[in-house]
Structure 1
Amino acid sequence: MANCEVSVRDVPTESASVHSAGPTRVTGYAWAGLSVIIFSGWFVATRFSVTRELRIWDITALRFGIGALLLAPTIMRGSSRLPWAAWRQGFVFAMLWGVPFVLLVALGLRLTSAAEAASIAPTIMPVFAGVFAFVFMRQSQGPMRWIGYAAILAGLACLLSAAALNRGAPDPVGVAALVGAGGLWAAYTLIFRASGLTATQAAALICIWSAALFLPVYLFFGLSRFALASWSELLLQIIYQGVLMSGVAIFSFNRAVSQLGPSAATAIIALLPAVVAMLAIPVLAETPTLAEGLSIAVIVIGVLLASRPAPSPVHSSVQT
């Protein structure tokens, strides 16, 4: 891997990858499903702590500090060391899916709710990904995908409206933070696929760069509130933020993007509202209203349409 920087023009079109063998796509869906499960629990676990003793800064420190310790050996030992070009790519990754992303989501969770946050950032992300791919990479999305994106947006609007009738309108700053997080997440998925890095390498670089940039500020200003939290809460966050989110979830999502393509992988992540709603019934004893359930169904339909393979480019032949 002498050079990890790839021009946008060098990115293989998604239509070229989606026609891979069936087992590869099945594996990609499995990785995406694992990401959905972990992300769903993350919204609940993060909301749990940021509304108690720990703060946004503590969650960020745990996520990337522990993640860096666990993943650094995979790219900094012996023959696994990466060239400087890969580290430059990793810095860009960290700016998109590292500290800024986590801070925006955590802010949104603090100002809204776990259900609303899970309904906004993951749902708007595939729409951003499709638009970015169309505008900047000239990747055709096809009519079914555009219909799917429209259905996702319509379902999201209905879901937020239904939730507002029951719990009041969500905080506009929190909503803006979550929309911004969705945009960063979408940009990351497109750039990662063009980088040539593996799922493990990208996850390690995100954690290392994020820890290097954030932890000195965190320690210098004495932002830690660990002493105020219980051991059970700390253990929960160490496992979820440091191990599951920084290691397993990033790796599994990267694998899904590699095998399914960014548009299909991000569309599946938009299933988060449905999964969170189902988890909330037994865990939080929260049952969605009929209007919320119908809205989630519309989002699911949009996801199914948006995750369809992109149309293959038509190559015309010139006869002489």
Structure 2
Amino acid sequence: MQRTENRQIELTKTDGLSPLQKGYIVMAGVLFIWSSFVLSIRGIGASPLTVADVALLRFSVPMLILIPYIRSRLAVIKKVKVSDILLLLLGGLPFLLLVSLGAASAPSAYVSTIVTSTPPFFVAVISYLFYRQKVSLKQTFTLCLIVIGVMIMITGGRAHISSEMLTGVCFLLAAGGIWACYTIGLKRAGLDAISLAIITSYLSFFITFILVVFGGLNSNVGLFSLQQALPFIIVQGIGVGILATIGFSYAVNKLGPSNASVMGALSPGLTSLLAVPIYNESLSLIIIGGISITITGVIFSSRV
């Protein structure tokens, strides 16, 4: 009997995946969702939906799915400071609007690289200016790599940059700064993934809805079909709103923040590759070099 039980335990250890392997698998799925987020934002211009419509879908889907969890998380949510909630809300509608404005005139490689790579730089700057946290020499080096990589991508070896492209880059840089504020709020609030999703989804939905009702944002609700909205429901609502939020939290728990951040840094490269067949975008050696330097900077910054 004892031998049978021992044999079953050995088979479970051999056939089952380790927590580390599960973490890597989940993080790989999160990477594809993040890349799909950028690609779907690029696709708004070719669809009958407006940014406000996508935002309503993005926040309403997790809002409905998370209804059963509200009661158990209410006590935790009530303890969050108003200032921290405001920081968290920056990662909702404001971030989505800025990314969509940037994506309207910048290729997917620029959108993904700038939005995902510049937050560590902005976090360091904000922490130094407002929280008096010193920046070490190693941190300065890694942050310089990020800036250099982005600058290489922006210039692209060209003497002249169009005003349209420059405007798009400015929106993307602003989105990176907004996301940095969101991550600071996330650290200060100390919420679990579900509580975080409840706060951002419910409040962001109602803010978007009010802006649409009073004409602050344009909406084409009623002018598009469910089939046309379905890709955004899957990617933005289910993918980004639920799976990526919970999946990244799970990956951090299994892999550790450093390893999860290293994998997350690969997102710009994956997005750029996927954009080639989907949007027929080209990747020059200079852009590839800029992405590589930026990714290196992000990876090193997570190790400091």
Q: CA deviation at 1:95?
A: 2.6
Q: Which residue of 1 aligns with 2:35?
A: 40
Q: Which residue of 2 aligns with 1:207?
A: 201
Q: For 1:153, which of 142, 147, 152 is the aligned residue?
A: 147
Q: CA deviation at 1:188?
A: 1.5
Q: Which residue of 2 aligns with 1:246?
A: 241
Distance 1:88 1:125, change over 3 A: same
Q: For 1:178, which of 168, 172, 178 is the aligned residue?
A: 172
Distance (Å, rounded) in 2 between the aligned partners of 1:27 and 1:93: 31
Asked if the contact 2:99/2:171 (under 8 Å) is kept, the reply is yes
Secondary structure of 1:112's counterpart equals coil
Unaligned runs of 5+ in 2: 1-17
Q: Which residue of 2 aligns with 1:81?
A: 74
Q: Which residue of 2 aligns with 1:60?
A: 55
Q: CA deviation at 1:33?
A: 4.6
Q: CA deviation at 1:37?
A: 2.3
Secondary structure of 2:80's counterpart equals helix
Cα-to-partner distance string for 1:116-157 (whole Å, 9 max, x where unaligned): 222322221121123334444455554333222111111111
Q: CA deviation at 1:48?
A: 0.7
Q: For 1:126, which of 116, 120, 123 is the aligned residue?
A: 120
Residue 271 of structure 2 corresponds to residue 301 of structure 1: no
Distance (Å, rounded) in 2 between the aligned partners of 1:154 and 1:271: 17
Q: Which amino acid aligns with 1:46?
A: I
Distance 1:265 1:191, change over 3 A: farther
Residue 83 of structure 2 corresponds to residue 100 of structure 1: no
Q: CA RMSD in A?
A: 3.2
Secondary structure of 1:171's counterpart equals helix
Asked if the contact 1:271/1:299 (under 8 Å) is kept, the reply is no
Secondary structure of 2:155's counterpart equals helix
Residue 263 of structure 2 corresponds to residue 272 of structure 1: no
Distance 1:24 1:192, change over 3 A: farther
Indicate the larger mover: 125-134 or 56-65: 125-134
Distance (Å, rounded) in 1 between the aligned partners of 2:66 and 2:119: 26
Q: Which amino acid aligns with 1:217?
A: L
Q: Which residue of 1 aligns with 2:276?
A: 281
Asked if the contact 1:93/1:206 (under 8 Å) is kept, the reply is no
Q: CA deviation at 1:285?
A: 4.1
Q: CA deviation at 1:227?
A: 3.5
Q: Which amino acid aligns with 1:95?
A: L
Distance 1:274 1:166, change over 3 A: farther
Asked if the contact 1:93/1:202 (under 8 Å) is kept, the reply is no
**How many residues were matched structurally?**
284
Distance (Å, rounded) in 2 between the aligned partners of 1:152 and 1:131: 13
Distance (Å, rounded) in 2 between the aligned partners of 1:242 and 1:187: 22
Point out the structure with max Rg over C-alpha: 2
Asked if the contact 2:57/2:232 (under 8 Å) is kept, the reply is yes
Distance (Å, rounded) in 1 between the aligned partners of 2:81 and 2:127: 24
Q: Which amino acid aligns with 1:182?
A: G
Distance 1:179 1:216, change over 3 A: same
Identical residues among aligned pairs (%): 27
Unaligned runs of 5+ in 1: 1-22, 311-320
Asked if the contact 1:94/1:210 (under 8 Å) is kept, the reply is no
Distance 1:189 1:173, change over 3 A: same
- Give me the TM-score of the superposition, normalised by structure 1: 0.75
Q: For 1:110, which of 101, 104, 111 is the aligned residue?
A: 104
Q: CA deviation at 1:236?
A: 0.4
Q: Which residue of 1 aligns with 2:6?
A: none
Distance 1:272 1:37, change over 3 A: same
